[in-house]
Amino acid sequence: MRNTRKTLKLNQIYSYIEEEDCYFALISLDSYDELFNAWDAAPLKRKDLEPDLLEFIEQIGNDIPMNEQIKLSFQLPKEVEDEKKEDTSREAIYHNFFMIRHFIMKELRKNNRKIMVYVIIGILFLSASYFFQNILMLEYPFSILFEGLFIGGWVMFWEAFSLFFFSGSELRHRKNRYIRFSESKIEFQYK
């Protein structure tokens, strides 16, 4: 059973289609060109989405809970209707979603490597600090160095923790939103 309070708030912004069990986001455009970045010289199938449009689509993904499906509907004037451009545009939109997901996955892998390095360095610093402090029992000038190793070790652990739980969490949520976008329905309407 769907949460009624959330549903009422979402229904004020997005329409819900009972038959398709998804939220419906209507985006009005004047031409197919408004879908894509005007500065991108790539062929249509490989063009980047217009940054403002991409930001709007991401906002839709943030607003609608992850357990709900989304249908993106682009409304264009009747006189620009072109089935070939429609198919190519749909393909390009999905291509953008897959590419963004690819770059997010790349960033997640990079973060995971950093986390491993930080944990290893943290263990080495803490081990060195305990070894020198407890085994060698060095006096004042050297004890500052070993306190620095101790603090540095915990800083490395904090960096790993921060990357995994804060930065990594946002990247994982963003990746899941783009998985949902790549599985969502995209339609074109003409008025």
**Nearest residue to 86 (alpha-carbon basis) of 43, 38, 28, 44:** 44
177 located within any domain: no
pLDDT at 166 over 70: yes
pTM (2 d.p.): 0.79
Question: How high is the pLDDT of residue 111?
Answer: 96
The pLDDT tens digits of the residues spanning 66-121 come to: 888 999 999 999 999 989 999 999 999 999 999 999 999 999 999 999 999 999 99
Using only C-alpha atoms, the chain has a radius of gyration, in whole angstroms, of: 25
Check whether residue 30 and residue 85 sit in a common domain.
Answer: yes
The pLDDT tens digits of the residues spanning 8-52 come to: 577 778 888 888 888 988 999 999 888 988 776 666 667 788 899
122 vs 157: CA distance, rounded Å:
6
140 vs 11: CA distance, rounded Å:
67
Check whether residue 11 and residue 91 sit in a common domain.
Answer: yes
109 vs 115: CA distance, rounded Å:
10
Check whether residue 123 and residue 91 sit in a common domain.
Answer: no
Alpha helices in 29-137 (DSSP H): 51-63, 83-131
Residue 58: domain span: 4-99+185-190
